[in-house]
Amino acid sequence: MEPECIPLSQTERDRLRVLHEIEQGHLTQVEAACRLQITDRHVRRLLVGLQRRGDRALVHGLRGQPSNRKLDQLLEQRVLRRVRQHYADFGPTLV
């Protein structure tokens, strides 16, 4: 079975490294909280997520999903077409 590739930001990689140090016993939760500049309660929450879901727990659950505020594509095209017809000299900020 091929290992899953999880894209992480640099901040998430740093958090993961520190959380693994806690699991190995090299750091306490309070020391990790100071290092990550978060509360020790948040560190405990991250550790629970790490135990339940693995490394994926550090990635936001909606990453890669379209926004709930995204307009329907047909509506967006109609609006852009109308703006180009009637307001060709307007820039994107004014629209």
Rounded-to-integer distance, Cα 90 and Cα 52, Å = 51
Task: Please give the biggest Cα pair distance in the chain.
Answer: 66
Could you tell me how far CA 87 lies from the centroid of its own chain? 37
The per-residue pLDDT for range 30-51, each reduced to its tens digit, is 999 999 999 999 999 999 999 9
More confident of the two residues 5 and 36: 36
- Indicate the domain borders of the chain: 10-61+69-86
1: confidence class by pLDDT, cuts 50, 70, 90: low
**What does the pLDDT look like over 40-86, one tens digit per residue?**
999 999 999 999 999 999 998 888 888 999 889 999 899 888 888 88
DSSP 8-state code for residue 84: H
Is a pLDDT exceeding 70 seen at residue 18? yes
